[in-house]
Amino acid sequence: MKFDAVFRSRRSNVLATRGIVATGQPLAAQAGLDILKAGGNAADAAIATAAMLNVVEPTSTGIGGDCFALYWDARTKQVTALNGSGRAPAAAGIAEVRRLGYTGMPAFTGHAVSIPGTVAGWCDLLERHGRLALADVLQPAIWTAEHGYPVSELIATTWAGQTAKLRRDAGWAANELDNGPEQPSGHELLIDGRAPRMGEIMRIPTLGQTLRGIAAEGKDYIYRGEFAHKLSEHVQRYGGWITPADMAAHISTWDEPISTTYRGVTLYECPPNGQGLAAIIAANLASGFDLACMSPVDRVHTMIECMRLAFADAQQWVCDPRVVPIPLAELAGMDYAARRRKRISPQRAAQHVPFGDPMAGSDTVYLCVVDGEGNACSFINSLYQGTGTGLVVPGTGVSLQNRAALFVLDADHPNALAPNKRPYQTIIPAMTTQNGELHAALGVMGGYMQPQGHFQMLVNLVDLGMSPQMALDVPRWQLAGPAAGLGAAEAGGLVQMEEGWDFGLLAELARRGHRIAPVDGFGRIGFGGGQIILRDPQTGVLAAGSDPRKDGCAAAW
């Protein structure tokens, strides 16, 4: 199967009244829509979609990862926040990692595996907000894992990039321990030792059996049974610390979302340990500028500088607040933003921003659902870097995340590795309300792109009046780490600019001191895959867009 490699498509907004599911893979969107048609609500459809993504995009998400959700209850008109992320094992410690010779957390050994929170998150969201049984919402994913599906275009490309990790090829990752079994279990996610090609039928029967176990026994199947023992043994084989007791101790938490009002629209984010704080701070900083009346170059420059300061705060402070208290109310407040805003020059890029050093990445799945009653779920699920560690629990089809790689080894840092502590999390869903009613469910997946994507989508929708699809289609920018050979404090950090920006705008940004790195082709996937569903409170009409940088769509009823 071969297609023209040049992107030529145009998308319209998807409109409906009875429900929309938007995500990065069509089969997953359809799975969620089928659940809506079967009588489920936004929570039920979200879990069905997430489970299907586990099967059709296992390079980015899965049972071995974490999840977060924001849920709008149309009856109570309240937003609730679910933290479905896991913690470091009880035996985790900085001394052990340093003893092995690491100066930073390893990314692909057993040390990088935190307790996977996905399945507990699925179950807890359904228990609080859903209507259908877990077994019902998992059926589409089970059938697809066992019977197979044709692999879609971008997913096939990213899957090929995970092959060496899954096979644990010699020398595939520099500066990582070379230990573990000679016959790694990553072959369960490969076909004859290679990634599936676009259009090739992929079956993952071991994953189907795992999903059947979850459908029958709920979260206990993962956290208290044979699976927990298999996972613990596999992680320890690769140097990690997880035990069955760590698995059994895992719980999700329900948090009060953090929020800010931006030009009459209230933006909600999950609180730390997620990085949604960065989007809140950026919006607060931007509220002091008239972005809509600025020239494009002035607007982009100002937004980049707002985001740079927001990341500096997030990377200094975001951690597990149940372990290390942080001044969250102050950081998310307008008084703090007013003081920080004075650092933004209208003509020069900041050249010294301590702490802020985000890196590019795009390995996550995001989905949103709004049902016919007006309930909404903004949901994100991830393994972090590709297939996470690439460690697949033998006989289960479950690849394990590497979220613990986001800890730091400085014992004095709020995000320092410590037992039973959650790491800094990049994955964040978003939601907006207006005049006490749901405005939008939205998100942009992709590592540190996520708060940057939320900020850009907010400005596109609110300041520039774009439709959901247009807001997703237009080119993006991304702070993406320090310039080569220079630290962030000296260089101000790279700014990746997606293909499509005016050359004159790029030249003027460079003149103002931004270190510009143009990105085109497949590299554009690094700017994230977003989904947006807007709801008109007067008519109940839903309008949705789905990111052209992904394989997915908005499926409507």
Give per-residue pLDDT as tens, 244-274: 999 999 999 999 999 999 999 999 999 999 9
pLDDT tens for 101-135 read 999 999 999 999 999 999 999 999 999 999 999 99
**Does 262 share its domain with 124?**
no
Task: Determine which helix (DSSP H) or strand (DSSP E) holds 49, and give its type and residue range.
Answer: helix 42-56
Domain containing 322 — which CATH number?
1.10.246.130
Least confident of 197-206, 248-257, 361-370, 425-434: 361-370
Instruction: List Cα–Cα distances, 152 to 51, 72, 175, 407, 499, in angstroms.
Output: 17, 31, 33, 33, 23
Going through 375-529 in order, the beta strands assigned E by DSSP cover 376-382, 392-393, 398-399, 430-434, 437-444, 477-479, 494-498, 515-519
**Does 439 share its domain with 530?**
yes
Going through 78-169 in order, the beta strands assigned E by DSSP cover 78-84, 149-150
Over 70: is that where the pLDDT of 5 sits? no
Using only C-alpha atoms, the chain has a radius of gyration, in whole angstroms, of: 22
* pLDDT given for residue 185 in this prediction: 74
Going through 287-436 in order, the beta strands assigned E by DSSP cover 365-371, 376-382, 392-393, 398-399, 430-434
**Does 356 share its domain with 208?**
no
* Triad 479, 429, 105: Cα angle to 5°: 55
**Does 101 share its domain with 154?**
yes
**Does 481 share its domain with 539?**
yes
The percent of residues in the chain predicted with pLDDT above 90, rounded, is: 87
Over 80: is that where the pLDDT of 493 sits? no
Backbone angles phi, psi at 326, to 5 degrees: -130, 155
Give the three-state DSSP class for 453. Answer: helix
Give the three-state DSSP class for 143. Answer: helix
- CB neighbour class for 148 (10 Å; exposed up to 12, middle 13-18, buried from 19): middle
* pLDDT given for residue 444 in this prediction: 95
Least confident of 59-68, 341-350, 514-523: 514-523
* pLDDT given for residue 543 in this prediction: 97
Q: What is the DSSP letter of 260?
A: E
d(CA 90, CA 417): 11
**Does 511 share its domain with 387?**
no
d(CA 68, CA 125): 10
- Is 554 part of a structural domain of the chain? no
- Is 557 part of a structural domain of the chain? no
**Does 180 share its domain with 268?**
no
Q: Categorize the per-residue pLDDT at 354 as very low, low, confident or very high, splitting at 50, 70 and 90.
A: low
d(CA 456, CA 443): 11
Per the DSSP assignment, residues forming a β-bridge with 202 are: 149
Task: State how many domains the chain has.
Answer: 2
- Number of neighbours of residue 341 by Cβ within 10 angstroms: 18
Q: Categorize the per-residue pLDDT at 11 as very low, low, confident or very high, splitting at 50, 70 and 90.
A: confident
Which span out of 213-222, 473-482, 522-531 was modeled with the highest average pLDDT?
213-222
- Is 415 part of a structural domain of the chain? no
Write out the residue range of the structural domain in which residue 243 sits. Answer: 14-252+373-406
Pick from 407, 384, 535: which is nearest to 14 by CA?
535
**Does 158 share its domain with 305?**
no
**Does 198 share its domain with 259?**
no
Pick from 440, 472, 441: which is nearest to 552 by CA?
472
**Does 497 share its domain with 442?**
yes
Q: What is the DSSP letter of 188?
A: G
Over 90: is that where the pLDDT of 351 sits? no
- Is 414 part of a structural domain of the chain? no
- Is 556 part of a structural domain of the chain? no
Average pLDDT, the chain: 92
The larger pLDDT score, comparing residue 484 to residue 127, is at 127
Angle between helices 134-147 and 42-56 (to 10 degrees): 20
**Does 260 share its domain with 145?**
no
Q: Categorize the per-residue pLDDT at 523 as very low, low, confident or very high, splitting at 50, 70 and 90.
A: confident
- Is 424 part of a structural domain of the chain? no
Pick from 136, 122, 66, 115: which is nearest to 223 by CA?
115
Instruction: List Cα–Cα distances, 261 to 265, 287, 325, 433, 463, in angstroms.
Output: 5, 9, 24, 9, 13
* pLDDT given for residue 200 in this prediction: 98
- Is 2 part of a structural domain of the chain? no
**Does 79 share its domain with 143?**
yes
Which residues, in sequence order, are CB contacts of 143 under 8 Å at separation 6+? Answer: none
Over 60: is that where the pLDDT of 482 sits? no
pLDDT tens for 151-187 read 999 999 999 999 999 999 987 876 566 555 555 778 9
Over 90: is that where the pLDDT of 399 sits? yes
State the average pLDDT over residues 473-496.
68
- Is 532 part of a structural domain of the chain? yes
